[in-house]
Chains A and B, each alone.
Chain A
């Protein structure tokens, strides 16, 4: 840990210009990362507030808190907010924006203006969706299944769809920026296989963003157009095929799960290496596993349609392909575990989140295999088993990875240290709260409780109350870091350039870094996670 000799650098990106204009017109990737941090946090708490209402309502079998129409809107807007405005952008746009140029020794992303523009697109898309929310909400579920969304629903489908359409371009342009930056902006000596694994997973994520997002964009545009102009693409009465919508939707939305979890995997690779003072075991396997997940992710969408009239043959093929995703996923989990083996394993906050991620992702991933098996999937389709499964991946995976990364790089972002005791405590609260919320849902689903229902038989109440209690604990767990991280901005001890004694280019520059990231362009002569060499810049 750093000692009292640490000084804050006189010139850094946070004091390079003050005032609202210096932020809203910035082209510095680090400031844009903070703009995203503020906006995704806002959407996280909006989406979280709806989750609270959902769980409160489900505390009683009759659903006494809200009407059934309101309940439908709550779970829809919870899903839309969390998926499109938090989980998908969060790690790439906050941690990726901050770290990609620094990790490759560049001054900025390849297209700084485009980067700022991406944030504005995100905000405009978000405002559309918030508008849809405050003027009555939308009740189709975040999946917008047709023909309900195009013909039957009387709620604000069009503004929500437009919001998602617009925000999609933010993902596309951010992904494009990362791909070009990683290809063309690496510092001298930084070969592909010397890159930190976070960059490999960011690269794989960007590929999905660039290839998949345009498809959801055109799909939601078709939904909006069909509602307005009655084209009939998805309306059986006019010769349309509602299942075609599902194909188009899941062609993006299944890979989108990997957009959410791949960056978290990249974060965990960094945390595990730094937390164990060792290179990640089987570096190139972990790197290629990211690409394999990105590629395979595009070939498995049909497992969302096992009960939607898909032929047995395509179901079998989609089932086998879905099983294949387990291979690169397991490669990662085994390699992280092998990295820890005989490592000087740390119990600091970032590492706690890494442990959390590995455990919860394993449960989420293994239950995914249940769902890839056609017969079992038919049994649990549209039950709470699915809800529990994807929350283990999205919340247990993505959010654990994000919070771990945020804690790990917070000293670099802010130049200050947070309260380690409180941070450990809230990591524990989140882990307990999360499992108490979602583990009972596996059981509920297996017993047959359907998802998206406003009321349920009294037999299910005990498990639902457990889940609701867990959600309130989880909510506290998310609020505490907000408080101590904000507090640390002003009162935290100075971090110094390398508080963890970690390797990686980001730890060789000051905390916070200067606007141009490095005093001079670094020349990289070492592999990633070179923990055998003496660590530069580490104040022991």
Chain B
């Protein structure tokens, strides 16, 4: 690195300890990928627990899975995939430096995310009404499967709850991105924050792509 390059004269968005925007973009992108690897292992612990108990108690898991509302689950899957599309469009707009479009697509992504969480809330509420929330008032229609069904519902609430928490964190990130776009920090030269936010959002989406079949589509729904 030449001494001139080290004394970069005010490149917008460039932190003092990086030599160039390119280096900064590479570092922040790698940082998000490493973080997502951590996230995979974080959810991985729960998927492990799920695998063990589904193998041990397939009947109870199928019976408990059938009480979930598959229509709402499917709608939510579609909503979330669409939000990934709007997110990708926001990244595309950012690459072109189209400030207005970035904001429109970010807001659309958040709106779709809110629809997802709203539907999730409706589902949680009906589980609450049906006494399917684990704990003292837990009740399952087939008593011989009740204990093991409770493990299923524990996993259901933990996994979808953790997923929802990640979406809420995603909203926080989106708000930051909206602010930066509004202020004009995001340009065609410096759009990596939007791209990195996008990586995160797609990851949260992919987690759901695994959760949906594992939780909703067990044991054949034909009957």
Contact = CB atoms under 8 A, between A and B. Distances in A.
Contacts of B57: 239
Contacts, number: 112
Interface in A200-236: 210-215, 217-219, 222, 225, 229-233
Interface residues of B, number: 39
Given A107-B17, A231-B134, A241-B52, A179 B34 contact: yes
B41 A211 contact: yes
Contact of B42 (A176, A217, A229): A217
B56 A176 contact: no
A180 interface: yes
Nearest to B3: A520
Given A214-B38, A232-B151, A107 B16 contact: yes
B206 interface: no
Contacts of B147: 232, 238-239
A91 interface: no
Given A108-B17, A180-B31, A231-B134, A218 B46 contact: yes
A367 B223 CA distance: 59
B42 A218 contact: yes
B135 interface: yes
Contacts of A176: 31, 34-35, 38
A404 to B, nearest CB: 29
Interface size class of A (residues with CB under 8 A): 35 or more
Contacts of A183: 27, 30
B151 A231 contact: yes
Contact of B151 (A107, A211, A239): A239
A521 B39 contact: no
A172 interface: yes
B17 A106 contact: yes
Contacts of A212: 41
Interface string A269-294: 00000000000000000000000000
Given A238-B147, A521-B1, A521-B19, A219 B34 contact: no
A222 B151 contact: no
A214 B34 CA distance: 12
Contacts of A244: 49, 52
Given A222-B49, A239-B56, A241-B52, A233 B151 contact: yes
Interface in B135-165: 135-136, 147-148, 150-151, 154, 158
Contacts of B30: 179-180, 183-184
Tell me the interface secondary structure of chain A in the complex.
helix
Tell me the interface secondary structure of chain B in the complex.
helix
A112 interface: yes
B49 A233 contact: yes
Interface string A244-255: 100010000000
Contacts of B31: 110-111, 176-177, 180
A185 interface: yes
B17 A211 contact: no
B157 to A, nearest CB: 9
B45 interface: yes
Contacts of A172: 38
B150 A231 contact: yes
B67 interface: no
Given A210-B38, A214-B41, A240 B27 contact: no
Given A215-B44, A241-B52, A180 B151 contact: no
Interface string A495-532: 00000000000000000000010001101000000000
B96 interface: no
A277 to B, nearest CB: 31
B49 A232 contact: no
A180 B27 contact: yes
A343 interface: no
Contacts of B6: 520-521
Contacts of A187: 1
A175 to B, nearest CB: 8
B52 A218 contact: no
Interface in B37-66: 37-39, 41-46, 48-49, 52-53, 56-57
A516 B18 CA distance: 11
Nearest to A212: B41
Interface string A184-197: 11011000000000
8 contacts: A112-B17, A172-B38, A176-B35, A218-B43, A218-B46, A229-B134, A231-B150, A239-B148
Given A214-B44, A215-B45, A222-B49, 13 more contacts: A112-B15, A177-B31, A183-B27, A184-B27, A214-B42, A222-B158, A231-B158, A233-B49, A239-B57, A240-B151, A244-B49, A244-B52, A521-B1
